[in-house]
Amino acid sequence: MSARSILITGATGHQGGATARALAGRGFDLYAMTRKPESPAARELAGAGIHVVQGDLDDEESLKRVLEGKWGVFAVQTSQEAGVEHEEVQGHRIASLARVAGVSHYVYSSVGSAHRHTGIPHFENKWRIEETVRTVGFPSYVILRPVFFMENLVTPFVLQGDKLAMAISPTTPLQMIAVRDIGRHAARAFLEAEQLNLREIDLAGDSVTLPAAALALSEGLGRPIEFVQAPIEEVRRFSEDVALMVEWFEREGFNADIAGVEQESGIHPISLLEWAREYAPVVAPV
């Protein structure tokens, strides 16, 4: 077994890709798992010296193959693609198979406040996956809990032309994090594996109201963006799960210790304004 080989799931997606980039050149032998090794994102990873391997969270045999001989695993699943119940199945599957394969250090990306029993389906399923990570017997593990992604602000459902539409009141602050910073913290979870063993860390980079977010996007995109509070009924017609999350944002919200994590980790998080200036023009829809 290579003591420095890491399998990164979701490597062509947001969190996995950010983790791969943050770990590149740091002394590890990196393996990026994807269902489509021929995709442009996979070819970009290969160009950076990362081994691209074909694997599927729904294919047990492919997981056994790519997990063989790995020291570490970065695991992430998403309900947006798999659905809430199926994401949970995937999370239990890869954690259990990784333990059988002899993986020494397991890093799982969950969701902010999963441990607070929010009642939000796609938070609760991640809590149950966390329980598997905690109990299967890994010699070492770290659980990361990122909050709302800054990148979500420029998805078509939220950024509608010149309107930033969410069903949150204009005075309610929302903790956010840039995907880039999730990758940096995931890299730290491997670089400082011994020191961080058994840690469960909520991650956020900024806390802003939605009108302030609209102003930041206005500067980053170079056009006026106005916040409008969408009716919660409209959200509920789209998804009961998302509606429950938005109502929880309004009622309680994330409570990551932004300053404390920065002080301990030495990772200075990117603010929403900084993210909007640097990244929003790249990822926002035209």
What's the pLDDT tens digit per position in 90-133?
A: 999 999 999 999 999 999 999 999 999 999 999 999 999 999 99
At 182, give phi and psi (nearest 5°). Answer: -60, -45
CA distances from 40 to 12, 13, 105, 208 (A): 9, 12, 29, 34
Q: 255: closest CA among 173, 137, 191, 175?
A: 175
Least confidently predicted of 58-62, 71-75, 280-284: 280-284
pLDDT digits (tens, 9 = 90+) for 247-269: 999 999 999 999 999 999 999 99
**Above 50 in pLDDT, residue 20?**
yes
User: Hey, what amino acid is at 178?
Assistant: A
User: What pairs with residue 145 in β-bridges?
Assistant: 202
Average pLDDT over residues 60-70: 97
For the chain, the maximum distance between any two Cα atoms, rounded to a whole number of angstroms, is 54
Domain ranges of the chain: 5-147+178-203+255-268
**Above 70 in pLDDT, residue 284?**
no
Q: In the CATH scheme, what architecture does the domain 5-147+178-203+255-268 have?
A: 3-Layer(aba) Sandwich (3.40)
Q: Is residue 1 very low, low, confident or very high in pLDDT (cuts 50, 70, 90)?
A: very low
Q: Say what percent of the chain tops pLDDT 70.
A: 98
Residue with structure tokens 């011994």?
194
Q: Is residue 80 very low, low, confident or very high in pLDDT (cuts 50, 70, 90)?
A: confident
Q: Is residue 82 very low, low, confident or very high in pLDDT (cuts 50, 70, 90)?
A: confident
Helix axes 14-23, 179-191, angle to 10 degrees: 50
pLDDT digits (tens, 9 = 90+) for 207-220: 999 999 999 999 99
**Above 60 in pLDDT, residue 286?**
no
Neighbours of 216 (CB within 10 A): 24
**Above 90 in pLDDT, residue 279?**
no
Average pLDDT over residues 190-215: 98
| DSSP label at residue 45 | H
CB 239 within 8 A of CB 80: no
Strand duo 51-54 + 105-109: pairing: unpaired
- Global pTM reads 0.96
Question: What's the CA gap between 22 and 26, in Å, rounded?
Answer: 8
Helix axes 121-135, 240-251, angle to 10 degrees: 90
**Above 90 in pLDDT, residue 62?**
yes
Q: How many CA atoms lie within 13 A of 148 on its CB side?
A: 26
